[in-house]
Chains A and B, each alone.
Chain A
Amino acid sequence: MLLNSVIFVLREVLEASLIISVLLALSQNQGLSKKWSTPAVIVGLSLAWFYASQLAVISSYFDGVGQELVNAGLHLLIYIFILLTIVLLKYPTIKSFAILTMICCVVFASVREAAEIIIYLAGLSSMPDLFSSVLIGSIIGASIGLSVGILFYYLIAYARLKLGLFFGLFLLVLIAGGMVSQSIQLLTQADFISSQSPIWNSSFLIDERSLFGQLLYALIGYESTPTLVQFVCYSASVLLAAVLTISTFRSSSVLEKS
């Protein structure tokens, strides 16, 4: 159970950890306050606890696919707030409002990822013979996920201003695309989008189950067997985010700390 717990918790923590660290590093890069992160995570965890406690009820909504719709909604909201963050950073007079959009991203990401961990740990806490190894595995998984996030934070926050900003925004664009891709997959699972055959299978190159595959999944929404709808939506969302990012990056205000 120890190894299973490491893998499970790592998968969940990694995604949220990357979003939080990239946004936090961009705050540092742009001379914005970083004090927002702890309250945002606390609010996110509180809402995750509520979501986890109500999951059975939520799942039963919309003919049994309520869970998919809420999760797809959370991913789409993260995408929208990432776009707003990118746009707000362009304008010096309203740049500080980017903190609000960053808070929304972190809250939604924490809800999405932490809820599953809460359900997992709550269920296994009733099995005392397994729980200690599950807890140790979860702590190891969370530590690895947080360490990767911290690594990315330092890479962006302490790089030269222009390089850090470019790298941070570049990662944000890819993360944004991954959010849309996951949302499409959930809507397909809920039968709101017709299921299609995958347009390719790259699992022989990078297996989604591997550690590298998991990192790519969290970072760029890597999917070894994407459908056409998923690929088109992913590409369109990345393109839109990239266009906004280029516009922000070209603005002189982002190359001066506020």
Chain B
Amino acid sequence: MARYTFLFLTGLLMFISFVAKATPIIELEIRDHLFYPAELVIPVDTKVKVKITNHDPTAEEFESYELNREKVIPGHSQAIIFIGPLEAGIYPFFGEFFPKTAQGKVLVK
């Protein structure tokens, strides 16, 4: 029984690590209330892990009605948001705390 449990857990860990590795990571930065890059390009029907680094001392909220995503990123910290798989198109996002400057879009193609 212990052997099967061990094999199951090993298999599960391998599966999880495989899935984790299979998800591409895209970096997004916030500096002076602006997103860098302001345009993220991701392939169609692909799930991606967006790693957002907020270099500002103030917090920002990543928000997108089109992507159905909303997350507060405290100042000088990092956050992870999963997006996709998506159909081809343009999906705008913005920083809710500084919406006039913090604007960007996800380009799926």
Which A residues from 165 to 221 make CB contacts under 8 A with B? 185, 188-191, 195, 197-198, 203, 208-209
With A64-B79, A209-B65 as given contacts, are A116 and B47 in contact (CB-CB < 8 Å)? no
Task: Assess whether B96 is in contact with A59, with CB atoms less than 8 Å apart.
Answer: no
Task: Assess whether A195 is in contact with B85, with CB atoms less than 8 Å apart.
Answer: yes
Instruction: Give the contact-size bracket for chain A.
Output: 20 to 34
Task: Assess whether B47 is in contact with A119, with CB atoms less than 8 Å apart.
Answer: no
Task: Assess whether B59 is in contact with A120, with CB atoms less than 8 Å apart.
Answer: yes
Task: Assess whether B97 is in contact with A8, with CB atoms less than 8 Å apart.
Answer: yes
Considering the complex, give the chain A residue whose CB is closest to the CB of B69: A189
Name the one of B59, B65, B66, B68 contacting A119, with C-beta atoms under 8 angstroms.
Answer: B59
Task: Assess whether A64 is in contact with B78, with CB atoms less than 8 Å apart.
Answer: yes
Which B residues from 79 to 109 make CB contacts under 8 A with A? 79-87, 96-100
What's the least CB distance linking A113 to chain B, in Å? 12
Instruction: Give the contact-size bracket for chain B.
Output: 35 or more
Report how far A16 CA is from B49 CA in the complex, Å.
31
Task: Assess whether A59 is in contact with B77, with CB atoms less than 8 Å apart.
Answer: yes
Interface of chain A: mostly helix, strand, loop or mixed:
helix
A-B contact count (CB 8 A): 80
Considering the complex, give the chain A residue whose CB is closest to the CB of B83: A195
Report how far A68 CA is from B81 CA in the complex, Å.
9
Q: A60-B78, A191-B47 are in contact. List 6 more A-B contacts (CB 8 A).
A: A4-B99, A55-B59, A55-B74, A59-B79, A64-B51, A64-B78
A-B contact pairs, 29 of them (CB 8 A): A4-B96, A4-B97, A4-B98, A4-B100, A59-B72, A60-B78, A63-B80, A64-B78, A64-B79, A64-B80, A67-B71, A67-B79, A68-B71, A116-B61, A116-B72, A119-B59, A119-B72, A120-B59, A120-B61, A120-B97, A123-B97, A189-B69, A190-B82, A191-B49, A195-B84, A195-B85, A197-B86, A208-B65, A225-B66
Which 8 pairs of residues, A with B, have the shortest CB-CB distance?
A: A64-B80, A123-B58, A191-B82, A56-B74, A56-B77, A123-B59, A119-B59, A55-B74
**A→B interface (CB under 8 Å):** 4, 8, 55-56, 59-60, 63-65, 67-68, 116, 119-120, 122-124, 126-127, 185, 188-191, 195, 197-198, 203, 208-209, 223-225
